[in-house]
Amino acid sequence: SRSPSSSLSPGPSGAQGSSPLAGSKRARTGILEAIADEEEAMDTSAMAKTNAAGAPVATQGAVSPVVLVEGVDGERSVLEAVMDGEKEVVEALDEDYTIATHFVKVRRSGTLSDVHTLWDLVGTEAVSGSVEAILEARPGFDRLPSINAFDKQSKSNEMLSGLRYFEHALRDNGRGQPKPPYSWGAVDMGSVGRCFLQLCTRAVDVFSSEPRLLEVASPCYVLGDLHGNFHDLVCFEKVLWRMGPVLTPASFLFLGDYVDRGVYGFEVVAYLLAQKLLVPSKFLLIRGNHEIRAVQETFTYKSECIQKFGDGLGQEVWEATNAAFDAMPIAAVVDKKVFCVHGGIPLPVLGDGLISAINSIPTILPDPMEQSPLAWNIMWNDPIRNEEIDPAIEQHLKENEGFIENFARGTAHMFSSVALEAFLRKNKLSHVIRAHECKAAGFQIQQHGHLLTVFSSSHYCGATNEAACVLIDSKKIRTIRLDTT
């Protein structure tokens, strides 16, 4: 992006530390205890108690949290919401809707405190007799896809639990030692790496099943380059999807450049893939120019993998990451009007200038420069700045439909506002949102208001830039700057 101006960690006595991702009960208990210590150290509220039937009971003296009920199929759908002890019932007769199989409790901070299925509530006041009969008649409900988002034993949720541990500081890591924030401490990195390999394998299948041009409906948040900035990614999570993507009424579109330059590229990718596997229709990832092996070898991601996991497993982690990157979609369009890419619009001779041609790009793309000039343009192109245009360049742009070789990057092309306007007209679009360049405010509106660049990693390479994202909703494109302090 253009800017604006080892071995496993040992436990006590050389033993390998307990891992949040290890399969053994002992290892799992250790990380849960560590997370509990962490929450106590941070003065977070205690988990709500449950009765023998598994139904939640409010802790004495505590403010009642919101209870969201999510699940049962039938001709009539009922969503019950309980807030401050008062019950509201909303009835919907649309057979296209169903009540999901899980309900959750949410703390006042917005974090989840408890998750149960409807079967846990059978025999309590929360489920009527008529619903009990449906549950008994249709035992297959517990195999619905929505159950995956709340399965604590899934690899995705194991990884997310591990990343919560990684993120927070602990006064006591369970061995009488403090753990600094953004550190794995004494965790067995072999277990972390092996869990990640499984996520990558599944992610390849999910990405391969998607079109190369994603079609997205608003509301949708769009985030630009992250470049290994896990701190800022967590800040976005706490602001935009604190209860998790499945409980947030919006989609989240990431425009690539997840790794390199920042020191937490692995953690960023692990988080994004875990969320993608939990809610594939709402967490949407497209490919940037740093999702390429040769670029990562020049910059930092490959060496980061080796440093964190050692030569053998580190190489496997890096290769698995790139197998997932090879299958990522290339672009997205929101509400058929807002074209979203990492770099920029392609040359009009590629696919006749139509975005529909993007779906002809090979699904598995290990070498986009050789395999697909269209993908390469989309991942690398930039808008040309007014200050870069001299008379010779202006003449070249006029003779080449608003395009010129990208002299700043040494590959791909730059495009003018004339080229952009022709592209928008041909595809019946209103705007283009792209990433690829650091901006001081986290975003920049360009080319007569039809192009918006967004960058979502603050203090990039030691600079003072802010991080931002974009909300597309109600026929408006709104920029949101994030305070990451």
Q: Which position among 102, 227, 290, 413 bears the catalytic label?
A: 290
Are the C-beta atoms of 225 and 457 separated by less than 8 Å?
A: yes
Encoding tokens for residue 35? Answer: 């997370």
How far, rounded to the nearest angstrom, does the alpha carbon of residue 28 sit from its chain's CA centroid?
Answer: 25
Is 102 annotated as catalytic? no
Q: How far apart are CA 96 and CA 365, in angstroms?
A: 37
Active site positions, annotated: 290
